[in-house]
C-alpha cells in the first residue's frame, strides 16, 4: 500500500499546487527560458488534464488496489513523492552511459550523478514548477531481462531516464514520455576481427545459423533484431540464434556491466555477432574528460583493432518508435502524462539548446529558434547505414564489402 499512497500523494500534490505553479512560472525564467503567459497556461493545463481525473474521490476510491496487491514486494520503497506545495518526483539513472548518464568528477562535482538526462530533468523542474531528485540505480532495476525492473515496478522511483522507446516487449510493461532527442539511437551489429583486421562475418551475411548475443536489459531488445533489415542485402535478418542472457555479476560493478559481459561473449566465441547500440563503441572510448569510466576500458580499447571487434552494421532504426526519452515509468503510472506538457515547453527554450551543446548532442536535438545551424554537426559514422559508410574496419565501422564471404547455403 505504500506505493499506492505515494502515487496518490503525487497526484494530489500536483493538482493542489497548479495555481501556485502557474504564478511561479509566470515570474520565472523570462530570460533564458523565454516563457510567456499563454505557453505557461498550456503547460499547466496539460498537467491538470493529465492528473485531474485521478485525484477525484481520494480517500474512498481504492483505484489500483487489486493490481497493486498482485505485485511483488521488494522491501519498503523510499518516499518517491513528498507532500507539499510542489510535486516532487524521484528519477533514476545508472552511471555508465556517457553523455546520457555518468558520474562526474571534481571540480565539476563531488562524484555526483550527471549527464544529459540529469541536467534536462532538473531544468524542466525549474521551468514547470516541480522538484526533482535524481538517484543512482542499476539499470536492471529499471528494465531487466525481458521485463520491468523490480524497483521501477514497486515504486522506488517515479521513472528511469534516457531510455529508448523501442518496439516490442517493453510496451507491455512500461510507458514512455515524449522524446528529448530526435530518433538518435540506431542499433548495430558487432563482430570479431581476425589478425588481419577483417570481420569474421561479412555485412552481406543475413545471420542464418549465427549465434547472436544481446546486451541484457538494454536497447535494442533481443526481439527487435527480427524486424531489422540488412542494409547490405535489403533482406531481413533471419535464421539466427539469440543466446540466452549471458552471466554477469549482479552488482553491476565497474568493468562488469551488461555491455562488457556481452562483448566478452563475442570475443571468446560464444557468439559471432552482438546486437547493441551502434554508438556503444564510440561512447565507451577511453580518456573522456570529466567522466569516470564504469566499463572495461582495456576490453573496449580493442575497437577497430586486429583481433578486436568492429561493427558490420550501423544506423538501423527499425527497433525504435522514438528517440531518447526523459522518463520510462511503470505502465499506467501517469509519469508520461505528467511530464509531456513540460517537455513540449522545454524543447522551445534556450536552455534546452545550451544543454545539447554542453553534452555534444546538438546533432540529435530538436531545432528551435535558438539553434545555430552552423553548430549542427554532420551525421556520425554510427548514424549512417552501412552502405553509406566511407570508413574501414580499422575505424570500427566496416563497409559491406569487408570480411569473409557469407557461407554457402546448403
Q: CA quadruple 120, 124, 125, 130: dihedral positive or negative?
A: negative
Segment 61-72 shows an average pLDDT of: 33
Give pTM, 2 decimals. Answer: 0.65
How far is 103 from 288, CA to CA, in rounded Å? 12
pLDDT at 32 > cutoff 50: no
* 172-182 pLDDT tens trace: 999 999 999 98
pLDDT over 70 for what percent of the chain? 76
The count of other CB atoms within 10 Å of the CB of residue 400 is 18
DSSP state of 220: S
pLDDT at 78 > cutoff 70: no
How far is 326 from 279, CA to CA, in rounded Å? 19
* Confidence grade of residue 83 (pLDDT, cut at 50, 70, 90): low
Domains and CATH numbers, the chain: 2-183+322-358 (3.40.190.10), 187-316+379-395 (3.40.190)
Give the pLDDT of residue 116.
97
pLDDT at 6 > cutoff 80: no
User: Residue-wise over 321-331: b if at least 16 C-beta within 10 A, else e?
Assistant: bbbbbbbbbbe
pLDDT at 366 > cutoff 90: yes
The count of other CB atoms within 10 Å of the CB of residue 20 is 12
Query: Environment class of residue 53 by beta-carbon count within 10 Å: exposed (0-12), middle (13-18) or buried (19+)?
Result: exposed
* 264-280 pLDDT tens trace: 999 999 999 999 999 99
C-alpha cell at 289: 574528460
Q: What angle do CA 27, 29, 35 make, to 5 degrees?
A: 85
pLDDT at 210 > cutoff 50: yes
* Confidence grade of residue 396 (pLDDT, cut at 50, 70, 90): very high
Residue 409: beta bridge partners? none
* Confidence grade of residue 84 (pLDDT, cut at 50, 70, 90): low
* 110-121 pLDDT tens trace: 889 999 999 999
If one compares 397 and 7, the residue with the highest pLDDT of the two is 397
Segment 81-85 shows an average pLDDT of: 58
The residues, any chain, with a CB within 8 Å of residue 315's CB and separated by 6 or more, are: 186, 188, 231, 278, 382, 383, 384, 385, 386, 388
* 131-158 pLDDT tens trace: 999 999 999 999 988 899 999 999 999 9
* Confidence grade of residue 108 (pLDDT, cut at 50, 70, 90): confident
Segment 375-384 shows an average pLDDT of: 83
Give the pLDDT of residue 390.
96
Amino acid at each position: 500500500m505504500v506505493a499506492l499512497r505515494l502515487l496518490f500523494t503525487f497526484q494530489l500534490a500536483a493538482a493542489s499546487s497548479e495555481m501556485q505553479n502557474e504564478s511561479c512560472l509566470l515570474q520565472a525564467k523570462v530570460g533564458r527560458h523565454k516563457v510567456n503567459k499563454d505557453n505557461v497556461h498550456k503547460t499547466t493545463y496539460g498537467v491538470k488534464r493529465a492528473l485531474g481525473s485521478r485525484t477525484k474521490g481520494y480517500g474512498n476510491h481504492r483505484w489500483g488496489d487489486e493490481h497493486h496487491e498482485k505485485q511483488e514486494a521488494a522491501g519498503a520503497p523510499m518516499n518517491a513523492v513528498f507532500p507539499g506545495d510542489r510535486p516532487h518526483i524521484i528519477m533514476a539513472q545508472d552511471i555508465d552511459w556517457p553523455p546520457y548518464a555518468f558520474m562526474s568528477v571534481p571540480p565539476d562535482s563531488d562524484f555526483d550523478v550527471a549527464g544529459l538526462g540529469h541536467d534536462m530533468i532538473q531544468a524542466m523542474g525549474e521551468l514547470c514548477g516541480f522538484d526533482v531528485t535524481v538517484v543512482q540505480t542499476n539499470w536492471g532495476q529499471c528494465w531487466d531481462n525481458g521485463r520491468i525492473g523490480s524497483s521501477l515496478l514497486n515504486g522506488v522511483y517515479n521513472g528511469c531516464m534516457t531510455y529508448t522507446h523501442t518496439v516490442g516487449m517493453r510496451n507491455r510493461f512500461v510507458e514512455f514520455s515524449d522524446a528529448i532527442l530526435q530518433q538518435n539511437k540506431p542499433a548495430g551489429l558487432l563482430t570479431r576481427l581476425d589478425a588481419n583486421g577483417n570481420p569474421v562475418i561479412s555485412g552481406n551475411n543475413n545471420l542464418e545459423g549465427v549465434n547472436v548475443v544481446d546486451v541484457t536489459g538494454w536497447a535494442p531488445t533481443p526481439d527487435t533484431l527480427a524486424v531489422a533489415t540488412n542494409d547490405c542485402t535489403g533482406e531481413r535478418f533471419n535464421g539466427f540464434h539469440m543466446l540466452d542472457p549471458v552471466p554477469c555479476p549482479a552488482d553491476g560493478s565497474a568493468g562488469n556491466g551488461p555491455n562488457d559481459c556481452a562483448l566478452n561473449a563475442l570475443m571468446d566465441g560464444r557468439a559471432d555477432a552482438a546486437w547493441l547500440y551502434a554508438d556503444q563503441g564510440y561512447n565507451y572510448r577511453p580518456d573522456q574528460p570529466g567522466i569516470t569510466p564504469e566499463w572495461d576500458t582495456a576490453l573496449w580499447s580493442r575497437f577497430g583493432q586486429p583481433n578486436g571487434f568492429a561493427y558490420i552494421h550501423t544506423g538501423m532504426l527499425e527497433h525504435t518508435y522514438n528517440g531518447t526519452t526523459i522518463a520510462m515509468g511503470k505502465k499506467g503510472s501517469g509519469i508520461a502524462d505528467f511530464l509531456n506538457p513540460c517537455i513540449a515547453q522545454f524543447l522551445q527554450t534556450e536552455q534546452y539548446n545550451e544543454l545539447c551543446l554542453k553534452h555534444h548532442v546538438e546533432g540529435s536535438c530538436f531545432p528551435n529558434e535558438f539553434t545555430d545551424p552552423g553548430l549542427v554537426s554532420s551525421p556520425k559514422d554510427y548514424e549512417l547505414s552501412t552502405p553509406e559508410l566511407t570508413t574501414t574496419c580499422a575505424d570500427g565501422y566496416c563497409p559491406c564489402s569487408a570480411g569473409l564471404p557469407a557461407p554457402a547455403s546448403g
